[in-house]
Amino acid sequence: MGQAVRDLQDRRGTAALTLLAIAVAGLDQAIKAAVLSRIPFGASLPVVFGIFHLTHVTNPGIAFGVWHGAGALRALASALTAVALLLYTRERWRHSPLSRAGVAIMMGGAGGNLIDRLRFGHVVDYLDFRVWPVFNLADVAIVVGGGCLFYTLVRGRGRQTGA
In total, the chain counts a number of residues equal to 163
For residue 68, being part of any structural domain is answered with yes
Q: What DSSP character marks residue 67?
A: S
The CA-CA-CA angle for residues 87, 114, 75, to 5°, reads 85
CA 34 to chain centre: 18
* pLDDT the model gives residue 96: 79
Is residue 128 annotated as a catalytic residue, yes or no?
A: no
| pLDDT at position 31 | 97
2 assigned to some structural domain: no
SS (H, E, C) 23-66: HHHHHHHHHHHHHHHHCCCCCEEEEECCCEEEEEEEECCCHHHC
Could you give the number of structural domains in the chain?
1
- pLDDT mean for each 10 residues of the chain (163 residues): 53 81 97 97 95 94 54 64 65 72 90 91 94 94 90 68 48
3 is a domain residue: no
Q: Has 125 been annotated as catalytic? A: yes
Give a yes or no: residue 8 inside a domain. no
Query: Contact 40/56 with Cβ under 8 angstroms?
Result: yes
Residue 159 counted as domain residue: no
Residue 56 in domain: yes
Cβ–Cβ < 8 Å for 123, 84: no
Sign of CA dihedral 74, 137, 134, 37: positive
Could you give the CA distance from residue 48 to residue 50 in angstroms, rounded to a whole number?
Answer: 6
- Cβ distance 146 to 157 under 8 Å? no
Q: Of 28, 116, 128, 139, which one is the catalytic site residue?
A: 139
> By residue range, what is the domain housing residue 47?
16-154
Decide if 5 is inside a domain. no
Those residues with Cβ within 8 angstroms of residue 82's Cβ, 6 or more apart along the chain or in another chain: 106, 107, 110, 111, 114
Catalytic site residue from 28, 116, 125, 128: 125
* Residue 134 contacts residue 127 (beta carbons within 8 Å): yes
pLDDT of residue 68: 52
Q: What's the pLDDT score for residue 74?
A: 59
Residues 135 and 31: beta-carbon distance below 8 Å = no
With respect to residue 28, please indicate whether it lies within any of the assigned structural domains. yes
